[in-house]
Amino acid sequence: MTEITVVGAGGEYMESVVVVEWHKKPGERVEVGETVVTVETAKAATDIEAPASGVLAEIRAEVGQEIEVGGVLGIIGDDVAAVADSQLTAAPQPPSISAEQPLAPSAPCDGGKKRVVASPLARRVAAQRNIDLASVVPSSPSGRIKLRDLETHAVEAPHAAGTAAMAVKRQGSACPPVPASAGKAGNLHVQSRGNRQGDRIVFLHGFGSDGPSWQPLLAALGSGFNAILVDLPGHGRSPLPQHGPSVNEMAEAVALALGDAGIDDFHLIAHSLGGAIALALAARGRHAIRSLTLIAPAGLGPDINGGFVSGLVRATRPESLAPWLSKLFHDASLASPAFVAATMQARFDASLRDAQTHIAEAVFPDGTQAADLRHVIKGIAAPLKIVWGEQDRIIPMQHALGTGGLAALHFLPGVGHMPQIEAVEAVARLVMQNIRAAS
């Protein structure tokens, strides 16, 4: 017997492939060098040749199944064993692979065997976008896949590995959970940078972003501080929540993560959605927050650019992402192709985009901010600054006016939703004022 293995198909950074097609059925003869199975990686479909002549004795990875590079796709048995297996009259033979073991269980949720029920439109669009309908979960009570299910699925062929992974996750109770995410729940990804002896600053990023996105401001602030970069739930390298968490639940997750890291005394800088989470964190009163700098924060009013939020989470390629990213800035040229490409790269994982869709639905339902945290402001004794771009197209700067005169308001002309990038020097200067005021 000879194993058919996944070799050389994954590319440098791929850990797994998805089986696209078997060209032989169990029991069929194969010749060495003949294409026996096609697998798909993030880059391309790859044909795998039979490593030996013989009979395909066993398929271990069914179509649609994800398998690690190096894993065994199937077994090629020798002729005699296969013939013996199919001829009842044959004399007893040493047991062949297929006789010795039951066939390996097929893919965990054997969706590929069942006829997929989908609307004609969904079928057509899925074919155009190379979406495998077997991996799409219908949202309609009819059980029929509709166009909208593809929109939320929104994965193209190049991301087939991601598709399969997500499909398994979405099957819910019918399939075992994906081990990769097990054991990390609640533990947000937190990294510490700069001078550990310096003033400590916790950074909470905005929706769809991640901790490293603070880099320009970190550079402007210099290396004297100890920066704590938190990846919010469903963002960056933090675990993907199973459902869309509320602002309060995310604040609780941040509180737990900071507690685990022994961080209870810090300055806090937060942007956009992170701003709302910062206020919810402050309301908990479990930490000594020395100063608070909120940049274009959520949580101070109902309005938010719902089109931006849904456009961002839907985008699966740079062309569809770029128009939305340009809305972040007053100077649209800042959403450069390189910036767009880097952002898309960070959003490459379909399950991350999926998680963020659920988060958006929870915190910004129907394009409205669900959490109103204005009442928290009057309980904050520490220096509080709110910094806002006058040309913010995501959350209107007028929300700052609802803070009852208890925060220092800084409106930056010619700046959009990303003052920490578009006016990084001004933001750094205001942050330092706040930190000095606290000490």
Residues that bind other proteins (CB under 8 A): 119-124, 140-142, 144, 146-147
Residue whose CB is less far from other proteins, 23 or 129: 129
Q: Compute the least distance from the CB of residue 353 to other proteins, in Å.
A: 23
Toward other proteins, which CB reaches closer, 146 or 374? 146
Letter for the amino acid at 243? H
412-425 CB burial, b ≥16 within 10 A, e <16: beebbbbbbbbbbe
* Nearest distance from C-beta of residue 127 to other proteins, angstroms: 10
In whole angstroms, the minimum distance from the beta carbon of 167 to other proteins comes to: 21
Q: Which of 300, 348, 299 is nearest to 321 (CA)?
A: 348
Measured CA to CA in angstroms, residue 256 lies from 185, 186, 240, 274, 287 at distances of 11, 8, 16, 16, 11
Q: Return the number of the residue (150 or 282) whose C-beta is nearest other proteins.
A: 150
Place of tokens 């450069």: 336
Long-range own/partner contacts, residues 25-28 (CB < 8 A, 24 or more apart): 25/56, 26/56, 26/57, 26/58, 26/59, 26/98, 26/103, 27/55, 27/56, 27/57, 27/82, 27/85, 27/86, 28/55, 28/56
Find the shortest distance in angstroms from Cβ 155 to other proteins: 19
Cβ-based nearer residue to other proteins, 314 or 374:
314
- How many Å apart are CA 181 and CA 379, to the nearest integer? 37
Sheet of strand 408-412, all strands in order from the earlier edge strand to the far edge = 190-194, 226-230, 200-204, 265-271, 288-295, 384-389, 408-412
Sheet order of strands, 72-77 included: 2-5, 72-77, 54-59, 29-30
Token pair listed for 65: 């199944």
Closer by beta carbon to other proteins, 126 or else 202 = 126
Shortest Å distance, C-beta 148 to other proteins: 8
Which of 121/180 has CB closer to other proteins?
Answer: 121
Structure tokens at 163: 């598709």
Q: Do 356 and 235 meet the contact criterion of CB atoms below 8 Å apart? A: yes
Nearest approach, Cβ of 94 to other proteins (angstroms)?
55
Measured from the CB atom, the residue of 140 and 242 that comes closer to other proteins is 140
Across-strand partners of 72?
5
Q: Which is nearer to other proteins, 153 or 205 (CB)?
A: 153
Instruction: State in angstroms the smallest separation of the CB of 123 from other proteins.
Output: 8
* Rounded CA separation 407/415 (Å): 20
**Residue 115 or 196 with smaller CB distance to other proteins:** 115
The DSSP 8-state label assigned to residue 176 in this structure reads P
Distance, CA of 305 to CA of 31 (rounded, Å): 59
Shortest separation between residue 120's beta carbon and other proteins, angstroms? 5
Residue 366 CB, nearest approach to other proteins (Å): 9
